Structure 1
């Protein structure tokens, strides 16, 4: 049966690949991005987050079957926390009432293998407390002391922990809405291409994210997992950070499961 999906970050990368796959399967997809989409909104700002919710209500008549939060950036900049954590959480929380009115509702956010890398506790704890001002200040402090690389991993660690906390609650599991994260390894996108084109950066990336199974992924190889997690077939998978990382998590953490 055709379903109605909303995909943020739909203009590029995993978001674009997922939207294309779902449309090819006969579903309706509402895309959201900074520009060139059905809903144009800046998820780094409260205004843009509100515009996303308002636009979704207007385009759907008040009901959605799935929300797929793919919008994200990777910069040594506090903006990364605003988009990757606060933008994603606002998307999921803001659209949850529309999911509750949908059929077999499902939700997924794109995390990252970087969520298992070192993070800045000050950024993560402020993000989980919903304190955007403090989280941004902590991210700025990390950049100022030369640890800007922690901003991205912290943003992904925070949103992954938020999924674990939110998924079993009355608003999500209690309402019959599975909520999960997909955590890719290195994906070949416009965001990662500059790093991979630099020999020194590529070596650093491959050391920090070893992918023994098939190497780096294309967005089209991540999309089917996202599609399944948001399908009616997924009845019991919730609160999970599903690694689609070519084995990187197993290499980095060995046989430790938590």
Structure 2
């Protein structure tokens, strides 16, 4: 049966691949992005997040079946904090009421294997406390710091997002309402976001030195789309609070046999 999906970051990369796949399967997709989308919204701002909810509510008629909170940035800037964490949360929480009438509501966010990298503790604490002004202030400090400090912004936002999923998936608002809430954690995917990092063989080798991917290496967005499609399908009725690493083995190499 056709379902109605909301996909953020739908204009390119993983979001575009997921939107295309779902449409091919006969589903209705409401794409959200800064351009080339059904709903134009800027997730860096409170007004933009409110626009997302209002416009999706209008476009959907008030009912949706699944949310894929995929929009994200990988820049060493404070904007990455605004989109990757607070924008993702606003998407999930703001659209949750629209899932209520679905017979099989589902929600998924896009985290990253970078969540395994060491975070900036001050930024992580602010994110997990839901304190956007404090988080943005700390991110601005990191942005003007050393390259290592600036580059920690992305990993920290993805770790915070993964932890938020774990903390909230079993809550009455999610599992208690029959909504499986999960996340995927991709490794290096060939998208516009990563094109500068994988443009030459030397760059690819350097990146894979940091992100080991022994199973088939760097892959295409479509591979993530297949996983997102299943996680948001009717078949997935029991996965709760899982961060599924689709990373060619990075998690296994980095963490070994640890499951916690």
SS at match of 1:6: strand
Q: What's the secondary structure of 1:193's corresponding residue?
A: coil
The SS at the match of 2:196 is helix
Q: Which runs of 5+ in 1 are unaligned?
A: none
TM-score under structure 2 length normalisation: 0.97
Separation in structure 2 between the aligned mates of residue 232 and residue 179 of structure 1, nearest angstrom: 13
1:126 matched residue in structure 2: 126
How far is 1:203 from its partner?
Answer: 3.1
Which residue matches 1:217? 219
- Aligned equivalent of 1:10: 10
Give distance in 1, aligned partners of 2:254 and 2:126: 26
Aligned partners of 1:104, 1:149: CA distance in 2, in Å? 38
* Deviation by residue 1:84-143 (Cα, 9 ceiling, x = unmatched): 000000000000000112220000000000001111111111111111111111112222
Q: What secondary structure does 1:192 align onto?
A: coil
| Alignment correspondent of 2:166 | 164
Unaligned runs of 5+ in 2: none
* Deviation string, structure 1 residues 185-223 (Cα, Å, up to 9, x no partner): 000001101111255543331111110001001001110
List structure 1 runs of 4+ shifted beyond 4 angstroms: none
Cα distance in 1 for partners of 2:123, 2:223 equals 31
In 1: Cα distance, 2:99 partner to 2:116 partner: 30
1:164-203 superposed matches below 5 A? 164-198=166-200, 201-203=203-205
Distance 1:158 1:221 in 2: 24
Match of 1:234 in 2: 236
Matches within 5 A, 1:54-65: 54-65=54-65
Structure 2 CA distance for partners of 1:170 and 1:9, relative to 1, 3 Å? same
Q: What residue number does 1:20 align with?
A: 20
Specify the SS of the correspondent of 2:198: helix
| Aligned-partner Cα distance in 2 for 1:208–1:170 | 39
RMSD: 1.0
Task: Give matches, 1:20-39, under 5 Å.
Answer: 20-39=20-39
